[in-house]
Amino acid sequence: MPKLVDHEQRRRELGEAVWRVIRRDGIEAASVRKVAEEAGWSAGALRHYFSTQSELLTFAMQMVVERIEVRVGALEPPADPREAVEQRLHELLPLDKERRAENEVWLAFAGRALVDPQLRTRHEEVDEELRRACLGALQELGSGGRLRPGLDPELEAERLHGLLDGLALHTAMRPDRMSPRLIRSVLARHLDSLGAEVDGLGGHDNPTGDRGSGRQ
């Protein structure tokens, strides 16, 4: 199947060019023309993958999904369910430059889906995947005995999902304020609060520690 291999190779090559443009210019400034220049492709060659800003965003969003899947697939989860869940959720959060770029693609994609019906179905699919990831995290905590008794997993998934996207939004808006350390602390505190301990602080290390004003 040489044709398929060629297509996959071309797609990867293009994906790398897209990512370089996003990293360098930001997703808001990434245009079809810039990507073509970066890849050294003609507009015609590009058209097979995308030819409008909306299609470029959809392509970039698909890259983000694949990048996260690859990273999560490569994880070696610790035995402790709480640690395993935390490790996996970290892959979804804007904790380094690469994940911040992914986060910006996600929010730009969501923003575009608001006004472009073509993107809405795909947005809903990704949104559902995220919700399922949250529900899966809750279920893993539950079956590992790390969830307070009596919690409603669906409602907790909704709450966790809301928190993750809220942190994503806050980080995109105010990257200097939302340090990786602060993001990790908020998530750790949230997972602590779901924990089976009855003192409300969980058994995890104190997430605030010497955070001071919460900025660093």
Contact 161, 173 (CB under 8 A): no
Question: Residues 32, 65, 72, 169: which binds a copy of itself (CB under 8 A)?
Answer: 169
**∠ Cα 45 66 23 (to 5°):** 70
Q: Is 108 helix (H, G, I), strand (E, B) or coil?
A: helix
Q: Which of 158, 179, 184, 204 binds a copy of itself (CB under 8 A)?
A: 158
H-helix or E-strand containing 44? helix 43-46
Contact segment (CB under 8 A) with a copy of itself among 40-48, 49-57, 82-90, 167-175 equals 167-175
CA distance 213 to 153: 33
d(CA 198, CA 195): 8
Residues recorded for the chain: 216
Residue 204 binds a copy of itself, judged by CB under 8 A:
no
Answer for which of 15, 81, 94, 207 binds a copy of itself (CB under 8 A) is 207
Residue number with CB closer to a copy of itself (46 or 108): 108
Kindly tell me which of 76 and 199 has the beta carbon lying closer to a copy of itself: 199
- 89-108 residues in contact with a copy of itself (CB under 8 A) are 107
Q: Which of residues 12-71 bind a copy of itself (CB under 8 A)?
A: 28
Token pair of 211 as six digits: 């955070």
Residues 24 and 17 sit within 8 Å (Cβ to Cβ): no
Site for a copy of itself, rule CB under 8 A: 28, 107, 110-111, 113-115, 123-124, 127, 148-152, 154-156, 158-159, 161-167, 169-170, 172-174, 182, 185-186, 189-190, 193, 198-201, 207-208, 211, 213-214
